[in-house]
Amino acid sequence: MATMTLNNGVKMPQEGFGVFQIDDLATCKLAVQDALDVGYRLIDTAQGYFNEEAVGAGIAASAVDRQDIFLTTKVWISNYGYEKTTKSIEESLKKLQTDYLDLVLIHQPFSDYYGAYQVLEDLYDEGKIRAIGVSNFLPDRFVDLAEFTRITPAVNQLETHVFFQQQEDRKYLDQYQTQIESWGPLAQGKNGLFTQPVLTQIGAKHAKTASQVALRYLTQQGVIIIPKSVHKKRMQENFDIWDFTLTNDELVQIKQLDTHKSEVIDYRDPESVRLFANYVK
């Protein structure tokens, strides 16, 4: 498995397994076990997914040692503020059955994310978190946070896929040596990704599916990906992308699929801000 070296020297697997919207805890536990069995070593969860306990149980039930797993969680917006964030991470550690976390992200760029981030900095200093970062921080808020905190975010997890490639955002991340990580690397199936003609045609040349081409494109662009599935066969398919390389011409064709807009949520829309504000009120 390829790894990416974060700005603090920590190595992070370039492909991992995400558990967003795996709400049934028994299903989530089994999915984590299956993913680890397939070969995934990065597991990505969040307080706001309400399945950390199942993730912890899945890791504990697997044959893979904890030290060989890169475990990520995220602090939910209702847990922002120094005291609440501190308590919430203690709870996450218990649910995940571990005494340290490899990566913790601030999940949303609203409310008191400065207070939350300060907790991550302090826990990083204590060695309880190996790397810290953010999620969904667009360039303005990302630069603001990066300039006024002690520790530069190691990761920014953003909606990133062939239809929304985040080229402009990456210019700012590169300035701080912050690694981009994709949530929704398959665009949640939107825009007809699984049958998209360009991806399908390129895939046929490599005996791969459109989704495998979409994932491989991101990895060749230096993006960390965390595709999700509850089906072991699909997990394996998503994992089998490291035995082929897209040509320069194919990369150009896929780059042209970029619509420069979200398929899921626009963080610049004031109504999106109100949506997240409701989680705090």
Q: pLDDT tens digits for the chain (281 residues)?
A: 799 999 999 999 999 999 999 999 999 999 999 999 999 999 999 999 999 999 999 999 999 999 999 999 999 999 999 999 999 999 999 999 999 999 999 999 999 999 999 999 999 999 999 999 999 999 999 999 999 999 999 999 999 999 999 999 999 999 999 999 999 999 999 999 999 999 999 999 999 999 999 999 999 999 999 999 999 999 999 999 999 999 999 999 999 999 999 999 999 999 999 999 988 87
Q: What is the pLDDT of residue 279?
A: 86
Looking up tokens 């007809």 gives 192
Q: What is the pLDDT of residue 51?
A: 97
Q: Pick the closest to residue 56 from 85, 77, 33, 37 (CA basis).
A: 33
Q: What is the pLDDT of residue 280?
A: 84
3-class SS of residue 257: coil
Q: Which residues contact 194 (CB under 8 A, 6 or more apart)?
A: 186, 209, 210, 211
Instruction: Give the domain ranges of the chain.
Output: 12-280
- Does residue 191 contact residue 263 with C-beta atoms inside 8 Å? yes
Q: What is the pLDDT of residue 64?
A: 98
Q: Is-catalytic flag, 217?
A: no
Annotated catalytic residue within 40, 49, 80, 124: 49
Q: What is the pLDDT of residue 1?
A: 77
Annotation: CATH topology of 12-280: TIM Barrel (3.20.20)
Q: What is the pLDDT of residue 29?
A: 98
∠ at Cα 196 (195, 197), nearest 5°?
A: 105
Distance CA 211, CA 200 (A): 8
Q: Pick the closest to residue 105 from 4, 2, 181 (CA basis).
A: 181
